[in-house]
Amino acid sequence: MPAYLDNAATTRVCPEAARAALEAMTEGYGNPSARYAAGQAAAARVAEHRAAVARRLGCDPAELTFTSCGTEGDNWAVRAAAEHGRRRGRHIITTAIEHAAVLEPVKALAAQGYEVTYLKPDRAGRVSVDELRAALREDTVLVSMMLVNNELGTLQPVAQAAQAIRDAGSPALLHCDAVQGFLKVPFTPARLGVDMLTLSGHKLRAPKGIGVQYIRKGLNLKPLLLGGGQEGGLRSGTEPTAQIAALAAACDAWEEDYPARISALKEYALESLSALPGLEIVSRGDAPHICAVSLPGYPSEMLVRALSDLGVYVSSGSACHKGKPSHVFAALGLPKRTLMGVLRISFGPDNTREDVDALVDGLRQITASRVSL
């Protein structure tokens, strides 16, 4: 088995989720909108699955809308917030280290005349609430801040941002991309104080193709999709019952001690990697499952390919970069040689110390056989 250490990109589907999806596809396959018994049984199961996800998230099931992925949820939140506040202003605040799923729709709005303030991180990868306070304006309609950075593992001050918005008396909506935080770090939408929050199933051992959008009760947003009125009229289209079932099963199968176990493995990895000559720790990560290191002088894409040849899978950043330089690592102001050699390592419940040892041995082999640039 390869040493898979790229769980921030996607995770292996757990057996419970796979079984739930199979059952939904082969036995409980009715259309939830159909009025006959099989359809109504499917609708009841969707309601049960929504409640299961809501229990783990700590919110009312009615506040959850199923989506296809985190990108869809982020795009919806940005565009819906702009539409919601169109009569009040055209100013958006976000961070320079958000996922592209937030930055790209924000960029599209900027092309339509919106002004955007990008909060820059410090060297540790965290943004400042004081800078957010200073950036808030009367015409600010949206603040979008992720909970856990997907490349650094750093926690961002979302709850403090919510308080700053309230203290300023701002009507701006607060959106949080919590894709990397759900089930990894403790939070509820209410405690964070967010209006919208985005999740993705394939980051927590559910299949690709299912996500969740939290929308605070009482917040009336423009529907994402019009049609048959599914998902409370917010996202029309036949519900993906197999993916929904798998997501609920993955949530139920996530054990309470997983974050502590994953964190301990990450600390073992950082300790082991630190013994490699020249290796630098870029981010230890606040979240239990993500850290970043660098081998200055060794191009990260070369390292990723060489490690892959040895059966070790890591990345040079978000999978959405597709080999392009990471804007997240660039935002830290790292020296060029450090920046070019960055690797993201991310862990899941299935990882072992043997996976870490394979990574360390692989990097040792690569550096012993190649001359750095």
Q: Which are the catalytic amino acids?
A: 320
The residue type found at 313 is Y
In the chain, where does DSSP find H-type helix?
15-26, 37-57, 70-84, 100-111, 129-135, 158-167, 189-192, 241-253, 258-273, 300-309, 327-331, 336-340, 353-369
> CB within 8 A of 360, min separation 6: which ones?
269, 272, 273, 275, 276
> CB within 8 A of 36, min separation 6: which ones?
30
Q: Which two tokens stand for residue 308?
A: 């892959």
Burial of 124 (0-12, 13-18, 19+ CB in 10 A): exposed
> CB within 8 A of 221, min separation 6: which ones?
80, 81, 83, 84, 196, 215, 234
- Yes or no: say if 123 and 333 are a contact pair by the CB < 8 Å rule: yes
- Yes or no: say if 207 and 13 are a contact pair by the CB < 8 Å rule: yes
Q: In whole angstroms, what is the distance from residue 69 CA to residue 208 CA?
A: 7
- Yes or no: say if 201 and 210 are a contact pair by the CB < 8 Å rule: yes
> CB within 8 A of 189, min separation 6: which ones?
57, 58, 59, 63, 176, 197, 214, 216
Q: Which long-range contacts (CB under 8 A, 24 or more apart) does 33-38 make?
A: 33/228, 33/230, 33/238
